[in-house]
Every structure is written in structure tokens, then in C-alpha cells.
Structure 1
Amino acid sequence: MTTQLDRPTPRAEHRSLRNRAGNAGRRTVSNKAFSSLLTVGMAIAVIPLFLIIAYVVYRGAGVIGIEFFTENEPPYTREGGGYLAGFFGTLYIMALAILMAVPLGIATAIYLVEYGTGKLSTVVRFFTDVMTGIPSIFVGLFVYGLMVSGWISLGFGTFAAAVAIAIIMLPIVTRSAEEMLKLVPDEWRNASYGLGAGKAQTIMRTVLPAAAPGLITGSMLAVARGIGETAPLILTALGSVFLVTAFQGDPQAAVPLQIYNGARQPFEAGLERAFGGALSLFGLVLFMIIAARVIGARANKRK
């Protein structure tokens, strides 16, 4: 009596790898079609970007010079002059905004990663994501109603503008810092605890140094976002053509405001300076983004 176990197991038919499935040709054609479609879509999306950059460079390159960074803006009908007040005001506002947004954003990220385990951390993450997508004009209206003419009534000035820009930068810093802190291996924390370090010492001497390149990269990207904002500054800084050093109480100049004001008047000299300011601002933002990429790439290579 032969059982099923005694029967010889039929060998699977050998199939050459050169033999293609019946639908392989159709899949190849579909793959090429979708690849071509995506390439065309990418080209359509990139062409307007290159046209904008080329047009700004064409209109603004002739204005850029030493006097553009060292002289105040003359009346719109006169040629020459520059955006000295705007560059000073932008740097002043951004310095204050960085001092407010970066430490607070990193501290919030530390809480979310190292301490936050309850509902509060979920609420903080939710509102951080919501703030990332809020239009900047709403932030300007909030600061205007709170600080400029509302409850505090400090008037237009540098500090109010810095608060508005810091609010825009804060969620970007928080979310990027949170992701960078999560990338630090838990083994490093456990090794620090094993050597007798406390929670605060582990964070300050192990976690933050390990995540420092990523924290710098995220902070620079947040600065690149905030430095080009115009809508909040209209409602907080107001704008000026003179160099203003006051902390608060006097309208402050900024490059985005001077670009906005120069672009909406009909005189060619003012328009040319507006394009020069746009080109300068574009170069500054591009430099920050490239620097952030280089810092991140070098940090990953060292790791």
C-alpha cells in the first residue's frame, strides 16, 4: 500500500528568467507613460519659477551696488539711492525674532520629545501643526490688535514686528527640532544615565550636541521663511524710509515693505529699486537655504 508520503514530489517546472510575463510589455509601456507624464508635470512647475527668477535678476541686477546697501531711499521719481534703512530694519527685526522664536521652539521640542507623554503634548503638537498653515496676515492682525492698538497699545515699531515674525517662525522651529531630537538614539541617553548623569545633564550634554546640526538647519529654514514676510510687517512695523534705531514706538523699515511700496507706484526709478530689493532678498534667502543644506549634509557625513 503506497501512501501519499511515498509518492514522489513533482518537481516544479523550471522557468528561465529571460521569459517575460504576459503583461510585462504593458507594464513597461505604462511605466514609461507615467514617467513621461511626471517629467512633463515637473517641467511645467519649474518653468514659472525660472521665469520669475530670471525676470527679477534682469530687472534688479543693474540696481545692485555699494550705494544700494549704504544709502537711504530717495523719492520714487529719483534714481539712485538704496535700501539701507530696510536692510537695517530687517536685520533688527529678525535678530529680535530669532532670540524669541529659536530658544522657545527648541525648548518646546525638548518637552515634547523628552517629557511630554500626556494629553498636553498632543495638544501642543496639534496647535503647532495648525500654526504652520495659518496665513501670515492673521498673525499680523493678532499682533496689531494685541500690541499695536489694542490691549497693550505700544504703537508701531520694531518689537511688535519681531513678535509677529517670531510667531510665524515658532512652529517651524518646534517641528523641525522635534524631528531632529527624535533621531538621537535612545542608546545614547541610556549610556548617559548609566554613567550617573541626570535627565537635564543628558539633554544638555548628550542629546542637544548630537542634534545640533539639525537644530541649526531647522532654525535657518525658519529664518528664511520669516525674513520675506510682508503682510505682518504692514500691520506692525508700518515702514519707513529712514534708519530707525528705536526699540518700539516709531515705525520701522524693512526690505519687504520697501519692495511692496516701491512696486505699487508708477515711477520707473522706484520700480527698479523694488526689483533690486527683491533680488537682494532672494539672494539672502538662497544663501540661508544653501547653508542649511551644507550643514545638514556635513553632519550626516560625520555620523
Structure 2
Amino acid sequence: MSNTVMDKPPVTVPPPGGRTLKQPRLPRWAPLGLGLLSTGVGVGAGLVFGLDSRIQWGLIAAVFFVAATYALTTAVEGERQAKDRLVTSLVWVSFLLAALPLASLIWETVARGAKVVDGYFLTHSMSGVITLQPGGGIYHALIGTMEQVGIATLMAAPVGLFTAIYLVEYGTGRLAKAVTFFVDVMTGIPSIVAGLFILSFWIIILDFGYSGFAGAMALAILMVPIVVRSTEEMLKLVPNELREASLALGVPKWRTILKVVLPTAIGGITTGVMLAVARIAGETAPILLLVFGAQSINNNPFEGAQSSLPYYVYEQWANGNEASYDRAWGAALVLIAFVMILNMVARGIARWKAPKTGR
């Protein structure tokens, strides 16, 4: 009798509420299928209701995707998993809504600018070119941008670096708080204000003329707070143990900063400077006020009017004809490529200087 009882299979008691331990799950292809279905619904609704804007189609598809995901997940996996998928869907939809304008901008710029960007366009200026006719190039504007950004970097990078070193290594009391406050204020200052300041001080009060150097000074004002903030954060990441070990050996503080702190943070500092350069390369408002623009090549940034890529784009677009529009799109493409190259260089430096860890 005891053997008979032992041979019986164990009785499985279901959990309270009738639920099983293994809940049903949607297949892996469900999000992709819902995305395709939502796209079809958005296109169909746009065609049926006569909506001309593709943005409206996309918004309809996004709303349908979020609602359908939540409803289907609730029916199959339960309300708890449905809330999780709802938040995930909102994150993906927000990402696509943020990425689509950027992708559209890049596509439009490449499609329109590639028609004129060639060797001739990059090596000739607008001297003697009739704006209504095709031809001309951006060589004078490219030279102006490189000189103005280079001079601004030479002025702003040391000032920003030394200010950050003071705030991190020496700054205490009211002076450090005041410097930090003004750096925060300068971070949010509109670029036109920097241009107006240099215009009133350099050109109106001191009676100097329009020049690339005047534009570079305004760009330097915009660049300083970015360099200060990025350098300050990189210096704070340096472990205090390195400083203490150097000071314990009798090394002076200035030499510790020069030989220990800065070499440790040089990768992040260089990246911050490169990102600041990329930030000011596309500034237009100060350049419109201070460099005045020129159609011919001016290699001297300290005398005479000079052009730049942002000014060239504005100038050509203001001409209001098809040939000028093409040149404006071509210059915009070159400017975007210039900024992208600077960002890639910054990321490359950051990876190259990053500490290598291994097991």
C-alpha cells in the first residue's frame, strides 16, 4: 500500500488567482510587425483624409504604434508588462522624432550641395562672378573661417584652461564664486551680444575697421566658457591620490599640476577644446556685424573686410536666385563636413587618450 502511494505523481497546485508561473509572451517580431502596420495605417490615413504633410502621417503612425503596442501587450502579457512596453515605445518614438529632422536636414543639404561642391568650388572665390550666373566658389570664405576660428582658439583656449585650473586647484572664497558665476552667465549669452560688445568697443570706440580679427574676438568670448566648463570637469576627474602622492614627494604644486594633473586630463581637455571650436565654427550673428563680408580673397585677418562660411551662406541666400541658392547649399555642406570632422577628431583623441584597462 505504501508503494502505491509513492508511485503517484505529485499534485501541482496552481498559484493564487489562477495564474501560471510561465506567462505568455509576444513573439520577437511583434514590435517590427507593429511598426510596419503602424506605417501602413499612417500612410493610409494620410491618403484617405487628404493630408499633404508627411509629418502628419508620421504622427498618426506613432500614435497608433504606441496604442497598439499597449493594447496587444495588455491582452497577451498583462498590464504590468504593457506598462513597460508602453514606456519603451514612447522612448523609441521620441528618439525617431528627434532623429528624423536631423536626418532630413543632412539629406537635404547633401542632395542640394553636392551639385556644386567640386575642386573648382573649393579653390575659387566670388571675385568677378555675377551672382545670377553659376560659378564662383568658397575659397575666400573657407580661408576666413579657418583664420577666424584659429585666432579665436589661440585666444580662448589658454584663458579657459588657466581659469579652469584656478577654479579647481586654487579657487576658494568670493573670487572663485564670482568667476564661477560669470562663467555660468557667459555660457548662456546670445552670440549677437558678443558681437555687439566687440562692435561697440573695437570698431566704434577704438575706431578700428571691420576685420576677421574683430570676428575672432567675438568668437573667443563665446568659446571661453565652453573651454572652462569642459576643462574644469576633466580636472575634477583626476584622482586626488595622484596630487597627494606628488606633493608628498616634495614636488611644488605648480609642478604637480603641470607634470601630473594636466597630462592625466589632457585627452578630455583636448576634446573639450575641439568641441568648442566646432561650436563657434557655425556662428553667424557676430560675423555679420564684424567682418562685413568680401567677395575676394583676403589672407590678412587684421586688416580689411573678410568673409566666412556662415556669412557666405547668408549672403548667397539673400541674393534670391537659383545659382546663389546652389552656392549657399554647397557652402552649408562644406560647413557641416568641417564641423563633423572636428567632432570626429575630438572623439578620436578622447579614445586615444583614454586609459586602457585590461585583466
Q: What's the TM-score once normalised by structure 1's chain length?
A: 0.89
From 121, 132, 146, the counterpart of 1:68: 121
- Which residue of the partner structure matches residue 159 of structure 2? 104
Output the amino acid matched with 2:165. Answer: I
- Which residue of the partner structure matches residue 80 of structure 1? 135
- Which residue of the partner structure matches residue 217 of structure 1? 271
Q: Report the RMSD for the aligned CA atoms in angstroms.
A: 2.0
From 265, 279, 294, the counterpart of 2:348: 294
- Which residue of the partner structure matches residue 81 of structure 2? 28
Following superposition, the deviation at residue 301 of structure 1 comes to: 4.5
Q: Comparing both chains, which one has the higher relative contact order based on Cα–Cα distances under 8 Å and sequence gaps of 6 or more?
A: 1
Output the amino acid matched with 1:43. Answer: L
Does structure 1 retain, via aligned residues, the 8 Å contact 2:147–2:301? no
Does structure 1 retain, via aligned residues, the 8 Å contact 2:284–2:311? yes
Distance in 2 (CA, whole Å) between partners of 1:298 and 1:219 is: 16
Worse-superposed segment, 94-103 or 244-253: 244-253
1:200-220 per-position Cα deviation (integer Å, ceiling 9, x unaligned): 100111111111111110000
1:126-149 per-position Cα deviation (integer Å, ceiling 9, x unaligned): 221221111111111111111122
Q: Secondary structure at the match of 2:287?
A: helix
- Which residue of the partner structure matches residue 41 of structure 1? 94
Q: Secondary structure at the match of 1:77?
A: coil
Distance in 1 (CA, whole Å) between partners of 2:283 and 2:234 is: 26
1:227-261 per-position Cα deviation (integer Å, ceiling 9, x unaligned): 11000001111111111133434111111101111
1:97-131 per-position Cα deviation (integer Å, ceiling 9, x unaligned): 01100011000000000000212212212221221
1:37-61 per-position Cα deviation (integer Å, ceiling 9, x unaligned): 1211111111111111100000001
Distance in 1 (CA, whole Å) between partners of 2:83 and 2:348 is: 38
Distance in 2 (CA, whole Å) between partners of 1:49 and 1:201 is: 46
Worse-superposed segment, 45-54 or 248-257: 248-257
Does 2:146 match 1:91? Answer: yes
Output the amino acid matched with 2:257. Answer: I
Gap regions ≥5 residues in structure 2: 1-14, 23-76
- Which residue of the partner structure matches residue 254 of structure 1? 308
Output the amino acid matched with 2:121. Answer: F
- Which residue of the partner structure matches residue 8 of structure 1? none
Does 2:313 match 1:267? Answer: no
Runs of 4+ in 1 over 4 A off after TM superposition: none
Following superposition, the deviation at residue 19 of structure 1 comes to: 6.0
Following superposition, the deviation at residue 28 of structure 1 comes to: 2.0
From 155, 158, 176, the counterpart of 1:121: 176
Distance in 2 (CA, whole Å) between partners of 1:39 and 1:125 is: 37
Mapping of residues 127-276 of structure 1, within 5 Å: 127-149=182-204, 151-276=205-330
- Aligned-residue identity in percent: 42
Output the amino acid matched with 1:170. Answer: V
Gap regions ≥5 residues in structure 1: 1-14
